[in-house]
Structure 1
Amino acid sequence: MSSCKLDHPLEDVLAKLESQKEFLPEDLYVSCQRFLELDVTQTELNELFHLLKKYDLSSEEEQLRRNIEMKQLVRA
C-alpha cells in the first residue's frame, strides 16, 4: 500500500472498519474485528487502515486484491 508517515490509533482503524462494513464481505469484516481485539502492532494497524481507506470507492478488482491482503494480515 502507499506509505504514510501517520500512525493510525486503534480507534481510527475501528472507525474506518465500521465505515466500510457494508462494503466488505461479512466474514472479512468479522475477521478484522477479531484481529483488532488482539495485541496488534502499529505497523499492522497502519496497514489495515490503508487497506480499508476508500475501499468503497475502489474497483471490484481492487477490492478483491485488498480482500486477499486483509485476509493475509488478519490471518483469516
Structure 2
Amino acid sequence: MTMNPAPGAESERFSLFENLKALLTPNEVCELLGISIKTIYDWKYRGALRGVPRELFVKLNRRLFIRTDILRKWIFSQNGIYCP
C-alpha cells in the first residue's frame, strides 16, 4: 500500500526555510522548529557527539546565531532529502 502525501505537503516541507534571514537567533530557531533552547545549546556545545555541523553556529559580538543555509542542509540530510 502506497501512501500519497496530502496535496501541497511537498511544497510545505520545503517552504519551512523560505524567506528567512541568513542568520537566526537561537530563539527564532526554537520557534521555527518547535524545539527547546536547551536543544540549541546542546547542539552548540555537544555538536561533535551529535553530528551537528560545526559551521552551523556563528558568534558576533558575543551573541550566538545559527546559519539558515547550513541548518536547512543539515535537517534535510537527516531526513534523507536532497538539498541543492
Q: Does TM, normalized by the shorter one, top 0.5?
A: no
Determine which structure has more spread, i.e. the larger CA radius of gyration.
Answer: 2
Of Structure 1 and Structure 2, which has the larger fraction of its residues in strand?
2
Q: Which has the higher helix share?
A: 1
Q: What TM-score comes out, normalization by structure 2 length?
A: 0.29
TM-score (norm 1): 0.31
